[in-house]
């Protein structure tokens, strides 16, 4: 049983050595506002099908603008395409259409 403390110590240090720090998310600037790139990309992926429907417009014709953020996460986003515009607001885990202008 003399080796138990040595084995325990080695296992503890092995666990520490294998844990690597998470890389910092990349920050990008959208309409002059800094946000995390991965959150912006996720926002576009979530909003594109909705904007396609709301604007009755092909996805390749839709552009997005960032109006507001919460920390570095998009919270108010505009979509424009086919002569129409819409504004979406993040509420909890969903995007809600705030206004729709033709």
Instruction: Give me the pLDDT at residue 1, please.
Output: 53
Looking at residues 26-37, what average pLDDT do you find? 95
How far is CA 8 from each of CA 2, 14, 15, 16, 43, rounded to the nearest angstrom? 11, 10, 11, 13, 45
Place 24 in a pLDDT band, splitting at 50, 70 and 90. Answer: confident
How does pLDDT run across 55-79, given as a tens digit for each residue? 999 999 999 999 999 998 999 999 9
**Residues 83 and 99 sit within 8 Å (Cβ to Cβ):** no
Instruction: Give me the pLDDT at residue 39, please.
Output: 95
Instruction: Give me the pLDDT at residue 18, please.
Output: 55
How does pLDDT run across 41-58, given as a tens digit for each residue? 999 999 999 999 999 999
């Amino acid at each position: 049983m003399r080796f138990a403390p040595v084995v325990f110590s080695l296992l503890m240090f092995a666990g520490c050595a294998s844990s690597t720090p998470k890389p910092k998310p990349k920050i990008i600037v959208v309409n002059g506002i800094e946000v995390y790139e991965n959150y912006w990309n996720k926002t576009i992926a979530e909003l594109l099908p909705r904007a396609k429907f709301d604007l009755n417009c092909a996805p390749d014709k839709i552009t997005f603008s960032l109006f507001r953020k919460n920390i570095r996460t998009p919270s108010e986003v505009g979509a424009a395409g086919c002569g129409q515009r819409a504004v979406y607001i993040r509420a909890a885990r969903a995007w809600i259409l705030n206004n729709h202008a033709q």
